[in-house]
Amino acid sequence: MYNKSIVNGWLILLVILLTGCNRPTSKPNNIMINWSKLPDLPGMADTASLGVSAPFAGISNGKLVVAGGCNFPDKPVTEGGVKKYYSDIFTLDLSDKNAQWEKAGNLPLPVAYGASVTTPEGVVCIGGNNSTDFFTDVHLLSTSNNDGSVHICRLASLPVPMDNLSATYADHTVYVAGGNENKRPGNSFFAMKLVKNLDEDWEKLPDILGPARVQPVLAAQKSADGIRIYLAGGFQPLSGNTDAIIPSDMLSFHSGTKEWITETELPLFDNGARRTFTGGCAVAYKDSSILFMGGVNYDRFLAAVNRPKLIEKAEADGDTALAGTLQEEGKSYMFHPVEWYKFNTALLQYNTFTKEWTNLGEYEQLARAGAGAILKGDSLIIVNGELKPGIRTPHVNLAIIE
């Protein structure tokens, strides 16, 4: 017969282990992250320096390149402001600590909500939309060492217009996934070889698993069985009688077998609440990790996107009190202080070999949605983004990971 105290001890240990499941470990003692600021992004066109959301961003020849994006230049959206899209291209020489942003040209059209990725050839800018059009356009932006201008080279167009998608690069190949296709949430996954003649078409790969993922994050990294493409975050919007879905897992795609798998569940918060990287960023770090950051709060965002259906149901059930409460919540949603939205402040590291999550710390500089994130060596650069719905920041923050 088992000793009762030993059995109880094992039960307590099991509870502790289960409670700790799917939560990131604490920050390693040898990791230091030091924040500083790069110059604020200049005003776009004739506007003040309000900052933008959803721009293209990357590195070319040691210069930070930021192009396009959108904001509300005249007055906030809560006061009836109209969103404006931009074509401006700016560069910042990262080798010069005294450098300032320089205007380096314009995109063919104003655009935001596309995807961008740094490659050895330059910054590939993919898809997106503005107030009237949705784009299949793909351009390569490369900086000149002579006059500071940016050269724009048109690449093969996407098979369909795509916006609010994500992109990554590995082994001479650009991958895109998630977002909207022809203005509808889709599951397509495409790849394009980036070769010297720059005339390769996009290849359709197996669709991503499960629901559509609008505004996901995508990153490529080595793993125990070769290079994989990792997809997390994103959401499937409310549609008819179907609730909005915010996936809480991370998928991975093997570039050799051409198969998707469910890689892992995203780590929970300490209080057990779910997490999402929707509207956030992901970058490959060294040769075995991915850094995830930013994006919206799972519970706040899910409540917002599902609210119209809840109101409709309450009205159908004759529950006027609940319908009224939900309607008031909807009216006040854009008016809360920044802290209420609980945008993600954690810098999370995922090891693609051990499949472990580590929290590298909580930082206000990461609490952005629609920001650009670029990793150059051990320097993590966060470009603009939203502090809350409708409110941008012009700040460009720099974190040195030591």
Q: Where are the alpha helices (DSSP H) in 21-127?
A: none
- Of 6, 52, 3, 43, nearest in space to 384 by CA: 52
pLDDT at 45: 57
Single pTM value for the model:
0.92
d(CA 86, CA 48): 13
Residue 208: which residues within 8 A CB-CB, separation 6 or more? 177, 178, 187, 188, 189, 231, 251, 253, 260
> What are the tokens at 156?
């093969």
251 close to 261: Cβ distance less than 8 angstroms:
yes
Secondary structure (3-state) at 331:
helix
> What are the tokens at 131?
């107030």
d(CA 297, CA 22): 17
- Tens of pLDDT along 329-378? 999 999 999 999 999 999 999 999 999 999 999 999 999 999 999 999 99
Q: Are strands 115-119 and 102-106 parallel, antiparallel or unpaired?
A: unpaired
d(CA 119, CA 116): 10
pLDDT at 28: 79
Report residues of the chain scoring pLDDT below 70: 1-21, 44-49, 197-199
pLDDT at 7: 33
53 close to 36: Cβ distance less than 8 angstroms:
no
Q: In which residue are the tokens 């197996």 written?
A: 206
Domain annotation for the chain: domains and CATH numbers = 25-297+342-401 (2.120.10.80)
